[in-house]
Amino acid sequence: MKVIVLASNNAHKVQEIQSIFAEYKLDIYIISQKDVLGDSNIDIDETGSTLQENAMIKADAIYSITGLPVLADDTGLEVYSLDLAPGVYSARYAGEHGNDSANRKKLLTSLTYKTDRSARFRTVLHYKDSHHSFSIDGICEGNIIDQERGNNGFGYDSLFIPIGQTCTFAEMSEISKNTISHRALAAHSMALHLSSLKSSHHIPQEISYCILVSIFASLNKSEELSKLLQKAFEEGYTYLMMYEALLQVYLFAGFPAALEALSVLYEVYGSQSLKQSEEYNVERFIQRGQATSKQIYTTVYDKMMNKLQKISPEMSEWMIIEGYGKTLSRPGLSLQHRELCIIAILAAGNWKNQLYSHIRGALILGISPAIIQETCSYLLICNRIKEYHSAMTILRILSEDITH
């Protein structure tokens, strides 16, 4: 699953684009910029001379702050007899930004002696991530009438009748307007284009599911977990993979969380045959646990174990035997993919010291910072804004340390 930030705080826009993307079976989750930046007041100067430039400016600005994939839009009314004015200046056509009434009045005045009243609404959607940057248009052709009609919508909606319609946008229901609107058309085109970029996801789709079920389990979000597991089942992802992701939750979020989650898994997938549990061989688990721990913690392994031994000899022993030897060395998920699930759980719980250790371990295992950030971005689906930024701070510190 890819999390994309919409450079807007308009909840309706988020919902509209999310709904359209769902029609194309895109495994994309749209969040508003507030969902990642909180109440931070981000003032972006839209200084472009075209709609595309403004959309690019917004996308670049939010991407530079968040590092997450971004969608940004800009919309304008373009009247053919006015040389496509007001265009990029649509929101401030009469001088004052956002004064819809004054803008409509100026438009009607400008068209007083014009016989050609054809016009188009145009939305430019710009997408930006670490590998791609492109724009897509959505255009709705129509005509400008000489008197306002309708009380819905905003901007120039009460003056614009789309071709093939008898009502202005302001006379239409929201649902009717959205089926033919410029923004909806742009979103449909964007969905088609993004579907061709599926292979560019950093994290394999099935591992995205493992990470998300781990987060939902650790936060005791049973309803969301059930829906996601149902989707995983329909997509053909195996019971074993989901089982392994949820089984290890007990190490980082406790037995209650793991048991509740595994119960949901059973309800969705039904009875599944798993191979018989591995024989409980303490000596083998110790050897395997020490090897796995040293692979993750490398040069700090001895220091960490000495400290843990002083704090709690029992925990020190259990971590090696139960944690790394018995659970995290199991087949079914690679160590790298297990680490991503662990990072997600620890980040969701804001366990900073443990998170620091596991992000460091993930980087040592060769997992890129981009993949770790994508993993943590799933927290934003659960509105864990503070926890996401806390994880990003740790990731930046560790990435700089490793680089230098």
Return the active site residues: 74
Place of tokens 């496509």: 84
98 — phi, psi (to 5°)?
85, 5
- Using only C-alpha atoms, what is the Rg of the chain? 26
In whole angstroms, give the CA distance from residue 317 to residue 340. Answer: 24
> Cα angle at 220 between 242 and 344, to 5 degrees?
60
For 223, the token pair is 């309803």
- Count, in order, helices (H) and strands (E) of the chain: 18, 7
Look at residues 205, 243, 250, 232 and name the one whose alpha carbon lies nearest to residue 378: 205
35: CB partners within 8 A, 6+ apart: 5, 380, 383, 385
Tell me how far apart the terminal alpha carbons of the chain are, to the nearest angstrom.
Answer: 32
DSSP 30: E
Helix 205-218 vs helix 335-348: angle between axes, to the nearest 10 degrees? 40
Comparing C-alpha atoms, which of 144, 102, 81 is closest to residue 90?
102
Contact 247, 258 (CB under 8 A): yes
**Separation CA 73–CA 6 (nearest Å):** 8
Q: Is 71 helix (H, G, I), strand (E, B) or coil?
A: strand
